[in-house]
Structure 1
Amino acid sequence: MASGAGTILFKVLVFSAIAAVSVAQTPPRFNCSSTSKCHSLIDYIPPNATTIAAVQSLFQVKHLLSFLGANNLPTNTPSSFPLPASRKIKIPFNCNCVNGTGLSDKRPIYKVKSGDSLDKIAEVTFARLVTFQQIASANGLPDPSKIELGQELWIPLPCSCDEVDGNRVVHYGHLVETGSTVSAIAGRFNVSEETILKLNGIADARTLQASQVLDIPLRACSSAIREDSLDFPFLLSNDTYDYTANNCVLCQCDAAKNWILDCKPSQLKASSMKLSNWSSCPAMACEGNNFLLGNSTSSGCDSTTCAYAGFSKQTIFTNISTLNTCPWPEDNGNGASRMGSQGLNLAYLVAFTHVLAFGLLLIQ
């Protein structure tokens, strides 16, 4: 009897301690009502020195190239590349909306190790990206103090696929650093303070906490990708790249290039590619075989590019895009540019206009 009572008391004390430690942490929750899945980013600070391979395995990032692209690391960076404990890195993952909340799409799955507790997994292993309560809820655990060695737990990372002010964005889970402010974060990512406060349900900017995960909407490079493409919406934020179309296409987002998605054949070796049912990469050309994906020509103010427009199970789509780099008369010489696209339907032009308008608002 005494032993049983002691065990019950111990469990109560452990659960109380877990609750006390976590009560100050604002549970990360991103609103998400979109009906489609998307790619998201989230910060991670390893608790100990590690390697890219170890972090990639922990978060089950399937492709090394996607990890490298999210962090703008050279494509030849090895998976054995060391990561110090203090280095903040970005984790790419798939997001899905569930009951108005954005959660990582059933990944990552963590296998319980010796010495683990639910709180340790949340606080240490996953660096406060989730709370122990969220892990317990996602996995249907009635008693958070009861987990078993080898048990597999879904870690529900916060994310979103929603548009912001009518524009598609890359939702980024930013881990707040000690001493940071909403104003500083807004300036760093060219987002208004009002937008950050609204998205994250913060009534008073002064209540911001270190290690809090904020939903930051990053402007995405505009593109001509079709809605029926298997990778739609393919969104990349500034200084990131990724491979698509079964790794046949490499796309980059660079604000210095007018915020237009820059895509070209990947040139990867066949052994590095996930060609699905393709024995080789399909043709990637506009107007026959003389104007290939990524090729550009210039005439006066107009720069014409063979742009990536998505892919299907059999085909890689391309589109002729024209960028006018001459300033409008009313621009007073500020260098604002115009874009036209042959073959784009009205929906794509409207989408681009929305993205451009959103970007201009962020810059103000």
Structure 2
Amino acid sequence: MTINQTLLFLPIFLLFILTTTNAQPFSCKASSKCTSMIDYVSPNDTTISNITSLFGISKNLLSYLGANNLPPTTLPSFPIKAKQTVKIPFPCKCANGTGTSDGVPVYKVVPDDGLFHIASEVFGGLVLYQQIQTANNISDPNKILIGQELKIPLPCSCDEVDDEPVIHYGHIVTVGSSVEGIAKQFDTTQETLLKLNALPAPADLKAGAVLDVPLKACKSSILPTSRDYPLLVSNGSYVYTAGNCVQCKCDAANNYTLQCEPSTMKSSIWPSCPNTQCGRVFLGNGTSSGCSSTTCAYQGYDNQKILTNLTTVSTCATSSPPSSATNISSLGWRWNFLLVAVQLVLLSLHLLQ
């Protein structure tokens, strides 16, 4: 028997005992695709390279750095301490009322592996072993092959929340957390979290649960025809878009308005990055004159060019309309003036007779 034919066994009674986990699928009504995020806590000291490799996002290092608000110059060898929580961005696909990761991660079975170990230890309890079993059409959860590649169905969603586009974030609940505290931390409401996660009451929140948290996205001028539409960026993070030629960041301090500027990265789709100016104004810059301010805003990109638009905003306070009392007073003065004028005309006519 070759090593690739070796069966890995985990006693069924042990699987039965060790099934307690708080990983649950997220609701996703619409059939769509998007980018989601999820927490990951590494059991050991590791590196960014190992984590992005595990989750199948090594080619998208900048997306990992942006999600964790790390400098874009951070090296893949950057250390991650054991028990440190990091955010993993990944593609999400919605179907049949549930969202799961689209194409990644794919895990290759090694000696002494078992489905429970892979779910609870390798992927930190982000999925149930039964979910891995179903996603890979495994008839017997006690039997997997060394070298077998397993799809790992991370929970996610692409649904709007309260008619607004959001980034669904799988947040691991820590000991001592509350629904109200999590809602305040991520600028949402307790009622929204309870509804999204089908929690009857705040007291039903459990430590270790993967909670669906809707992260508010910065407002942008991205056109529906742009290749990166909709470009959703959450507070405290950034993304590279338009073939890495544009960097956009989101900061709640800027009234949740997306801030984009030219990047210094090498383009991934063009020999060199196209022009990012609005006339004489560079992307992300603006000018002020009198009572108006103009800014060169990012609108997206197509196969040939980067789309921008020069937007003008009034910066001077508008004068308030006269009050009703002022209007009445002005009207009364006009009537008095008219009456006096009429009387003077009549008096003049009388004197001429």
Band the TM-score falls in, shorter-chain normalisation:
0.7 to 0.9
Describe how 1:122-271 pairs up with structure 2 within 5 A.
Answer: 122-268=119-265, 270=266
Report the AA paired with residue 245 of structure 1: A
Q: Tell me how far apart the structure 2 counterparts of residues 76 and 328 of structure 1 sit (CA, whole Å).
A: 45
Q: Tell me how far apart the structure 1 counterparts of residues 317 and 193 of structure 2 sit (CA, whole Å).
A: 32
Q: Give CA-to-partner distance per residue, 1:307-359, whole Å, 9 cap, x none.
A: 111111222111223455667899xxxxxxxxxxxxxxxxxxxxxxxxxxxxx
Q: For residue 72 of structure 2, what is the aligned residue in structure 1?
A: 75
Aligned to 1:263, what secondary structure does the other structure show? strand
Q: For residue 287 of structure 2, what is the aligned residue in structure 1?
A: 297
Q: For residue 319 of structure 1, what is the aligned residue in structure 2?
A: 309
Q: Tell me how far apart the structure 1 counterparts of residues 208 and 290 of structure 2 sit (CA, whole Å).
A: 51
Q: Do the aligned residues in 1 keep the contact of 2:22 with 2:125 (CA within 8 Å)?
A: no
Q: Tell me how far apart the structure 2 counterparts of residues 165 and 209 of structure 1 sit (CA, whole Å).
A: 25
Q: 1:302 to 1:103 in 2, by over 3 A?
A: farther
Q: 1:115 to 1:194 in 2, by over 3 A?
A: same
Q: Tell me how far apart the structure 2 counterparts of residues 46 and 328 of structure 1 sit (CA, whole Å).
A: 55
Q: 1:326 to 1:254 in 2, by over 3 A?
A: farther
Q: Are positions 1:274 and 2:268 aligned together? A: yes
Q: Are positions 1:38 and 2:28 aligned together? A: no
Query: C-alpha root-mean-square deviation of aligned residues, in Å?
Result: 2.0
Aligned to 2:117, what secondary structure does the other structure show? helix
> What displacement does 1:302 show?
4.0
Q: 1:246 to 1:97 in 2, by over 3 A?
A: same
Unaligned runs of 5+ in 2: 1-7, 321-353
> What displacement does 1:97 show?
0.4
Q: Tell me how far apart the structure 2 counterparts of residues 285 and 72 of structure 1 sit (CA, whole Å).
A: 26
Q: Tell me how far apart the structure 1 counterparts of residues 101 and 221 of structure 2 sit (CA, whole Å).
A: 27
> What displacement does 1:66 show?
1.1
Aligned to 1:303, what secondary structure does the other structure show? strand
Q: Do the aligned residues in 1 keep the contact of 2:30 with 2:95 (CA within 8 Å)?
A: no
Aligned to 2:145, what secondary structure does the other structure show? coil
Q: Are positions 1:59 and 2:63 aligned together? A: no
> What displacement does 1:204 show?
2.2
Q: Tell me how far apart the structure 2 counterparts of residues 316 and 19 of structure 1 sit (CA, whole Å).
A: 55
Aligned to 1:63, what secondary structure does the other structure show? helix
Q: Tell me how far apart the structure 2 counterparts of residues 221 and 157 of structure 1 sit (CA, whole Å).
A: 25
Unaligned runs of 5+ in 1: 1-9, 331-364
Q: 1:133 to 1:280 in 2, by over 3 A?
A: same
Q: Tell me how far apart the structure 1 counterparts of residues 231 and 295 of structure 2 sit (CA, whole Å).
A: 19
Q: For residue 341 of structure 1, what is the aligned residue in structure 2?
A: none
Q: Give structure 1 regions of 4+ aligned residues with deviation exceeding 3 angstroms.
A: 299-303, 322-330
- Selected match of 1:283 from 269, 275, 283: 275
Q: Tell me how far apart the structure 2 counterparts of residues 17 and 323 of structure 1 sit (CA, whole Å).
A: 65
TM-score (norm 1): 0.81
Q: 1:17 to 1:305 in 2, by over 3 A?
A: same
> What displacement does 1:215 show?
0.5
Q: Give CA-to-partner distance per residue, 1:37-88, whole Å, 9 cap, x none.
A: 1111110000100001100111111221111110001111111111001210
Q: Tell me how far apart the structure 2 counterparts of residues 158 and 300 of structure 1 sit (CA, whole Å).
A: 51
Aligned residue pairs: how many?
312
Q: For residue 84 of structure 2, what is the aligned residue in structure 1?
A: 87
Which of the pair has more CA radius of gyration? Answer: 2
Aligned to 1:267, what secondary structure does the other structure show? coil
Q: For residue 347 of structure 1, what is the aligned residue in structure 2?
A: none
Q: Tell me how far apart the structure 1 counterparts of residues 179 and 276 of structure 2 sit (CA, whole Å).
A: 44
Q: Give CA-to-partner distance per residue, 1:195-254, whole Å, 9 cap, x none.
A: 001001111221211111011001110001111211111100011001011111111101
> What displacement does 1:150 show?
0.6
TM-score (norm 2): 0.84
Q: Do the aligned residues in 1 keep the contact of 2:32 with 2:95 (CA within 8 Å)?
A: no
Q: Tell me how far apart the structure 2 counterparts of residues 16 and 213 of structure 1 sit (CA, whole Å).
A: 26
Give identity over the alignment, percent.
52
Q: 1:301 to 1:40 in 2, by over 3 A?
A: farther
Q: Tell me how far apart the structure 2 counterparts of residues 102 and 326 of structure 1 sit (CA, whole Å).
A: 47
Q: Tell me how far apart the structure 2 counterparts of residues 161 and 122 of structure 1 sit (CA, whole Å).
A: 23
Q: Which region of structure 1 is more displaced relative to structure 2, 58-67 or 38-47?
A: 58-67
- Selected match of 2:113 from 94, 110, 116: 116
Q: 1:78 to 1:255 in 2, by over 3 A?
A: same
